[in-house]
Amino acid sequence: MPEGDTVYRTAQNLNAALAGAMLMRCDIRVPAFATVDFTGQRVIEVVSRGKHLLLRVGGFTVHSHLKMEGSWHLYQHGTKWRRPAHTARIVLETADWVAVGYSLGVLEVLATDDEDTVVGHLGPDLLGPDWDAAEALIRLTADPQRPGGLALLDQRVLAGLGNVYRNELCFLRGMLPTRPVGEVADPRRLIALAHRLIDANKDRSERTTTGTLRGATDWVYSRRGKPCLRCGTKIRQGTLGENELQLRETFWCPHCQQ
């Protein structure tokens, strides 16, 4: 499941391969931008902002969001693609690399000066060079009655956390996802843990919140009915969201989380 660390790593890989290189081919397979052609332009850089990916070229930005199914792949010329060609939404080629964006939930082109229209609403980026823990605390505690499990998923509060991290953070802090933010003991520690956890995974190909890549890599996420790794109580599963479109699965230990 793509979360902020996945997008960060994707941006780093794309930037290493494309930044400074001239595009020899630009094929955008989204009707609204199908006529856009950056062939002959040099890629300036590729950066992440929360779960958003920004590829800057020639005064414009190719903005993409992976959503649930999207991914970017890098291939050397002549290498077989690992996903069906019909799912490709954009193909960018340089002399050395072919970058393909598959099943992207969002793909659009806008002026780089207008990037704030798509990412300006985001809260502090947990993996950004401008990470601001103080601002994150202000946003997290702005609505004391809001369930902490909802606030952690709100990209306007913290940019980069997804459902895996939401569930794991609640477990590690011993709180039910439904606990109101105003009742969370020392929310500063919750924010600090979120930053530490996602930062520790940003360069890993496989995410872990338990500290091991052997055996269970998650404490509670997707472990319904399995014994808690701490106390042995069976993990429970439910849903939490502010409306039906925002419902996300929650997992918790009824003994370790109160």
Annotated catalytic residue 69: no
| Cβ–Cβ < 8 Å for 13, 203 | no
| Cβ–Cβ < 8 Å for 221, 164 | yes
Tokens matching residue 170: 């609640």
Element (H, E) at 137: helix 133-140
Q: Residue type at 117?
A: T
Annotated catalytic residue 51: yes
Picking from 99, 52, 53, the residue whose alpha carbon sits closest to that of residue 74 is 99
Crossing angle, helix 187-201 and helix 133-140, to 10 degrees? 120
Among residues 9, 139, 188, 248, the one annotated as catalytic is 248
| Cβ–Cβ < 8 Å for 27, 100 | no
Among residues 51, 56, 166, 207, the one annotated as catalytic is 51
Annotated catalytic residue 45: no
Among residues 2, 147, 177, 187, the one annotated as catalytic is 2
Catalytically active residues are 2-3, 51, 248
